[in-house]
Amino acid sequence: MASFLKSASRIPPAYFVFAALLATLWLTKPQLMNLNVMGIFIRQVAPLGILVLGQMLVMRVRSIDLSGAGVLLLINYLIASGLLGDMPLTLIIILSLAIGCAVGLFNGYLVAMRRVSAVIATLAVTVIITGFVQFLASGKPPGNMPELMNDIYKMKLGPIPLPVIVWTVLTMTMAVFLSRFVYGRFVMAVGENPTASHFSGVPVERTVLVAHVLAGFFAGVAAIVQSASVAVGSLRLGLEMPIDAVAATILGGVVFGRGDGGVWGPFFGVMCFALLFVVMTSFGVPEPGKQIARGLIILLAAVFYGLNTRKS
Amino acid sequence: MLPAVSMKGVTKAFGSTLAVDDVSFEISPGRVHALMGENGAGKSTLMKMLAGVHRPDSGEIRIAGQVVTFADPRQALAAGISTVFQELSLLPNLTIAENMFLGKEIVGQFGIPVRAAMTARTSDALAELGMTIDPNTLVSELSIAERQFVEIAHGIKADAQVFILDEPTAALNAADVEVLNAQIRKLKAAGKAIIYISHRMDEIFAMCDDVTVMKDGRHVSTQPLNTLTPDALIALMVGRDLEDLFPCRATNLGHVVLSCRDLVLPAGTEPLSFDLHAGEILGIAGLEGQGQSEIVRSFIGQVPGTHGALSVNNTPVKLPLARQVGVRSMQRQRVGFVPEDRKEEGLLLGAPISENIGISLQSARPGFKPLIRLRETVIRIMKEMRVKAESPNMPVGALSGGNQQKVLLGRYLASDMDILIIEEPTRGVDIGAKAEIYRLLRDLAEQGKAIIVLSRETVELIGLCDNILVVHDRKIVAKMLGCEATEHAILNAALKT
């Protein structure tokens, strides 16, 4: 019994929460349990899910990345403002990914090489980018998103929306990369003990740096998907996304230095967010109520994080 | 007169190792009592029990006739025990006065600390030691010697009756030692009892009235110092039969595989040079903290500011190596470094045995390459090393100390290093596993590998090594053949100042 409890405590809470939400929905609103309806709801959290892939990676190497908010805002604004002119979509995508990687590289340099606190460094980067976007935007309010992007966003493969497929494929790629490639072992080792990793010959600094670059890359992808999901650009993207990403990652069983939940734990952490909105919308909970519920999920994740660290 | 301190039948175990085994110890007021023994004899543990750091498993401690139990060092200080440990316990970012009154601040109305009163009383305590430092100086700005004086002043301020000085002179130069000794004489004249732990023979004989010798956690002898000669004292510290643990030695050595020329460690020391041959096990002996581990760690870039020329298999390596790449670039030269602190620096405790053994092999490859299959290698290594575990998937943290050490060594066996540098190959390992590790190291040497071993256990070095370098104050002070070395000779060389 004790060993059963012990192994149960290693299962990420995301799976329990997901199962509970799914059961609630099944019992109360069975008519919502069809792929078309669910697909639309899940599509909404695809940008968050993609951002979580990076967050999970940096948290496993004992860092954190809050600069996703800045990357999202900057790319969102660049696409919507018309500053890029008539740039073809491929170039826009490449530019977005390059911005993400560049921000990630800068974060990684600060955190891995200069040993700056990750929270402070990445938060500062967000503040700087926000200021920069406001500077660009003075007198130039964001305009419409290219219609082509929105059309692609709405595409489906069978009943499954394209963004959900992109998210799932990226997650699968990540799962394979971390479990079958040397870099995945570096991530495991650095998360477990950076000093011992160093003495074993693991390139600790490089591992952390690459994790941040990848996190920046995923923020770039998330920004493109998020931009495609809206018709009009916005200057009011707050810190919610990266905080949600941290919460989903922790719910998924990945805490600083420990990757119990693997890649799929955080995936289901994000799914919890999706289901929660379905459940609340179907019960007619208004926007402020949803906000409170989101806060409660983040608190739940923080409590779980506290429990998990005390255990180890 | 009642003894100032009397410890009776005190025992303390850490895990399965008995650090202190049924030791009794007494000291009277106005005496300076030396506590001697080799590294790991249990001196520090005994004193830490008196100072409230550890609690004895059994036995009793009396202070001025009263039985006491301390929950923490603060209670010990309140009972009149003041300690100056090797590792200092002052907070560097606070001032002297703040350190002195930490947790016991003099407060005025509304609980506001009265700085002036604390400064004045600190000044008085320092003045008693003949020091004129401003009590508002940050501790981080003080020299090691000054910090030790501050610790002693702390004891004086607390009106301590017993002072424990654990290797107080290890970091001091001759002038400071003289000042410290003058303080000790003053304390003695004031009727305080002083327990003095040091490895410096001349000091012991100059300062102390009595001596207690410990060995392997047991009490060996207590007697007045004037009945002893330095040689007789060393003989008391050593006196142990060589256990029949060790395999025989190399018959002939191969060519030079690692040569260290004019290595200068940061603290502005004399350059040192030595060679390591294929098939050789080379020991580096010396008292605690004399630079043994700095020498070998400078080879992997862990000691900034070293200079010198290193040559590995005739490939020159320029020192210092950068910290981030040192370990990796030496591994490319097929040099493995096995750190002493298995739990912090060696193993990934939460990860399975297989990952711990395989990590060096995997990390020799670029991150974007697929993992190589290591299952067979891991199983072979576990078999060769006789690691007792249910499966390679067990987390290494769940194993016993001996098995953990075998896994750690197995990592470098798996990556087939030509040269191994091992700090404390048998730390915290039981006697059975020790013998197995010795045999394994000798087997490796016979296959033509070369091994450098650092150890606090002189017996281990004598039994295991072909050649032994004795280090004192970051200098090689003696070189001896393993088969001719004795504990007495090594200790004698290591104590030379």
Optimal mutation site among B362, B368, B417, B420, interface A, most CBs of chain A within 10 A: B362
**pLDDT at residue number B121:** 87
CA distance B353 to chain A (A): 13
Cα of B254 to nearest chain A Cα, Å:
28
A129 inside domain: yes
Burial class (CB in 10 A: 0-12, 13-18, 19+), A23: exposed
Say if A312 falls within a structural domain. Answer: no
CATH class (in words) of the domain with range B5-238: alpha beta
pLDDT at position B330 over 50: yes
Residue A260 sits at the chain B interface (C-beta within 8 Å): no
The answer to the question of residue A84 being in a domain is yes
Indicate if the pLDDT at residue B145 is higher than 50: yes
Most confident of A249-263, B196-210, B277-291: B277-291
Task: Output B463 or A96, whichever has higher pLDDT.
Answer: A96
Return the percentage of chain A with pLDDT > 90, whole number. 52
Indicate the number of domains in chain A.
Answer: 1
Judged against a pLDDT cut of 50, whether residue A312 lies above it is answered with: no
Question: A201 in contact with B at a CB cutoff of 8 Å?
Answer: yes
Lowest average pLDDT, out of A13-22, A147-156, B109-118, B169-178, goes to: B169-178
Give the torsion sign (CA, A105, A108, A112, A116): positive
Residue A184 reports pLDDT greater than 90: yes
Instruction: Work out the pLDDT band at B194, boundaries 50, 70, 90.
Output: very high
Interface contact A200-B363, CB threshold 8 A? yes
Instruction: Tell me, yes or no, whether A102 lies in a domain.
Output: yes
- For residue A250, tell me if it sits in a domain: no
Inter-chain contact A203–B363, Cβ cutoff 8 Å? yes
Kindly determine whether residue A195 and residue B351, on different chains, have CB atoms separated by under 8 Å. no
Chain B contact for A186 (CB, 8 A cutoff): yes
pLDDT: is A31 or B143 the higher one? A31
User: Any residues with CB less than 8 A from the CB of A298 and at least 6 apart, and which?
Assistant: A243, A244, A246, A247
* CATH code for the domain defined by B256-495: 3.40.50.300
Q: Which residues of A touch B345 (CB under 8 A)?
A: 195-196, 199
Q: What is the pLDDT of residue B388?
A: 84
A192 lies within 8 A of chain B by CB? yes
For the segment B71-105, what is each residue's pLDDT rounded down to a tens digit?
Answer: 888 888 888 888 877 556 788 888 888 888 877 77
pLDDT above 70 for B26: yes
Q: Is the pLDDT of residue B359 over 90?
A: yes
Report, as an integer, the average pLDDT of A151-168: 91
**Structure confidence at residue A8 (pLDDT):** 56
Is A198 in contact with A186 (CB distance < 8 Å)?
Answer: no
Question: Any chain B CB within 8 A of the CB of A115?
Answer: no
Confidence of residue B247 (pLDDT cuts 50, 70, 90): low
- List the domain range (segments joined by +) for residue A226: 34-238
- Give the pLDDT score at B320: 84
Amino acid A98: pLDDT: 97
pLDDT score recorded for residue B45: 87
Mean pLDDT of the B426-432 span: 73
Span B295-307, pLDDT tens digits: 999 999 988 888 8
Q: Give me the percent of chain B exceeding a pLDDT of 90.
A: 35
Please check whether residue B490 is in contact with residue B471, taking contact to mean a CB–CB distance below 8 angstroms: no
Q: Which is more confident, B467 or A145?
A: B467
| Residue ranges per structural domain of chain B | 5-238, 256-495
pLDDT value, residue A1: 42
- Chain A residues with CB under 8 Å of B348 CB are 188-189, 192-193, 196-197, 200
Q: Say whether A189 and B348 touch across the interface (CB within 8 A).
A: yes
Query: How far apart (Å, rounded) are the C-alpha atoms in residues A100 and A219?
Result: 6
A202 touches chain B (CB under 8 A): yes
Size of interface A-B (CB pairs under 8 A): 86
What is the pLDDT confidence band of residue B241, given thresholds at 50, 70 and 90? Answer: very low
* Contact residues, chain A, for B327 at CB < 8 Å: 198-201
Tell me what pLDDT residue A4 has. Answer: 52
Is A251 part of a structural domain of the chain?
no
Residue A20 lies in a domain: no
For B284, phi then psi, to 5°, come to -120, 115
Helix axes B401-414, B353-363, angle to 10 degrees: 30
In a domain, A214, yes or no: yes
pLDDT recorded at residue A200? 94
Q: Which of A181, A188, A196 sits opposite B344 (nearest CB)?
A: A196
